[in-house]
């Protein structure tokens, strides 16, 4: 239950991006306009970190192993949030995305939160040449803020590739340990 945060009705990304939303590529807009449930399929290449501690952490978090696999993403609008369920071959993990109360007046930055089990991440979104960059800005364990120094680092991009497909490039690292996981690929947006 997420009643400790304020929510807005409607699809998350049109709310976040407001007037900027309509200037983004059509396939990106379609991907991020969710009502009910949408299922997208494609392919991904997954690379796990090589450090033993990171491999154990990735297994505990149920992150997919290093592989090139079919991928499926199911986005479901539930009340005031979106549930993103990711299937990489036989591996599965799910997160919940919702509005963040942190706002700016110039709309150069867009804020959302992503919950993964007991962890919640404050995400800053920026747009560079029709590519949306995701960056972790802050994080919590349940409601307890955690030190930014130890926050995972994310190099995440979403964009439309040359074939008109929604594409993603995610690289997640843990401070002082290195890469936890990276996955890159595409999804077909019908």
Domain that holds residue 70: 12-187
1 part of a folded domain: no
Confidence of residue 100 (pLDDT cuts 50, 70, 90): confident
Does the pLDDT at position 174 exceed 90? yes
Does the pLDDT at position 8 exceed 70? no
Quick check: helix, strand or coil at residue 164?
coil
In tens, the pLDDT along 15-66 reads 888 888 999 999 999 999 988 899 999 999 999 999 999 999 999 988 999 9
Handedness of CA 164, 71, 131, 125 (dihedral sign): positive
Confidence of residue 3 (pLDDT cuts 50, 70, 90): very low
Confidence of residue 103 (pLDDT cuts 50, 70, 90): low
**Angle CA 106–168–119, to nearest 5:** 75
Residue 42 β-bridge partners: 71, 187
4 part of a folded domain: no
88 part of a folded domain: yes
* pLDDT > 90: percent of the chain: 76
CATH number at residue 180: 2.40.128
Does the pLDDT at position 88 exceed 80? yes
145 part of a folded domain: yes
Predicted pLDDT at 106: 57
25 part of a folded domain: yes
Instruction: Give the count of domains, the chain.
Output: 1
152 part of a folded domain: yes
């Amino acid at each position: 239950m997420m009643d400790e945060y304020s929510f807005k009705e409607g699809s998350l990304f049109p709310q976040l991006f407001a007037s900027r939303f309509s200037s983004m590529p059509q396939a990106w807009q379609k991907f991020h306009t969710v009502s009910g449930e949408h299922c997208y399929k494609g392919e991904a290449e997954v690379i796990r970190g090589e450090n033993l501690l990171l491999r154990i952490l990735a297994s505990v978090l149920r992150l997919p192993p290093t592989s090139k696999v079919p991928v499926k993403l199911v986005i479901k609008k539930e009340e005031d949030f979106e549930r993103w369920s990711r299937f990489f071959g036989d591996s599965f993990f799910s997160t919940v995305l919702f509005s963040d109360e942190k706002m700016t007046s110039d709309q150069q930055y867009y804020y959302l939160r992503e919950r993964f089990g007991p962890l919640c991440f404050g995400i800053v979104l920026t747009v560079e040449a029709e590519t949306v960059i995701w960056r972790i800005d802050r994080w919590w364990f349940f409601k307890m803020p955690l030190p930014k120094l130890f926050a995972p680092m994310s190099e995440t991009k979403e964009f439309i590739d040359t074939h008109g497909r929604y594409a993603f490039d995610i690289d997640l690292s843990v401070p002082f340990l290195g890469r936890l996981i990276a996955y890159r690929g595409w999804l077909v947006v019908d």
